[in-house]
């Protein structure tokens, strides 16, 4: 699973999340950062209101938690989601010296590489570089 640090970096870089069933997230408050939640129509679903979006905890006993603003959550994208966000730029996922290496290529630029001990973190690093190219 992607590290919280990289998940925050992706969010801060402008990667936006449209919650769907199966997505994992944390409540980005110090007292709750160790708990990982999964969006599920049966248990946790997003409710959209004029005041903002909220995750509703339907019928759960999770600390009697009723809802939490979506803005107070941290999306933990899966490898497949980050690969999809890399889009046509994605070239490969490989292993090199015991680490995962994600390579992406955008025409007219040097190859982008994300290297980490965890494949999800390697995807996140490559995606951060790709977002940086789009901004510059």
Most confidently predicted of 1-5, 30-34, 52-56, 58-62 = 1-5
Domain annotation for the chain: domains and CATH numbers: 18-75 (no CATH), 79-135 (3.30.160)
| pLDDT at residue 135, as a whole number | 63
Grouping H, G, I as helix, E, B as strand and the rest as coil, residue 6 is helix
Distance of CA 12 to the CA centre of its chain: 11
Sequence-distant (≥ 6) Cβ neighbours of residue 38 within 8 angstroms:
22, 23, 24, 25, 44
Q: What is the mean pLDDT of residues 106-121?
A: 95
Instruction: Return the exposure string of 105-117: e unless at least 16 CB atoms fall within 10 Å of the residue's CB, then b.
Output: bbeeeeebbbebe
pLDDT at 49: 76
Average pLDDT over every residue of 112-131: 96
Taking residues 90-116, what's their average pLDDT?
A: 96
Report the b/e string of 89-104 with b at 16+ CB within 10 A.
Answer: bbeebeeeeeebbbbb
CA 2 to chain centre: 7
The percentage of the chain sitting over the pLDDT mark of 70, rounded to a whole number, equals: 84
Helical packing angle, 4-13 and 119-135, nearest 10°: 20
pTM: 0.80
Question: How much is the pLDDT for 56?
Answer: 73
């Amino acid at each position: 699973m992607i590290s919280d640090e990289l998940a925050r970096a992706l969010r801060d870089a402008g990667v936006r999340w449209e919650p769907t069933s199966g997505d994992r997230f944390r409540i980005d408050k110090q007292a709750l950062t160790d708990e990982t939640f999964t969006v599920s129509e049966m248990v946790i679903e997003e409710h959209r209101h004029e005041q903002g979006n909220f995750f509703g905890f339907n019928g759960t006993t999770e600390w009697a938690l009723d809802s939490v603003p979506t803005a107070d959550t941290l999306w933990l994208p899966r490898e497949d989601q980050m690969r999809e966000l890399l889009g046509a730029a994605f070239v490969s996922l490989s292993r090199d010296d015991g680490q995962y290496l994600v390579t992406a290529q955008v025409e007219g630029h040097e190859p982008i590489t994300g290297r980490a001990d965890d494949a999800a973190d390697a995807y996140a690093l490559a995606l951060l570089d790709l977002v940086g190219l789009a901004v510059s």
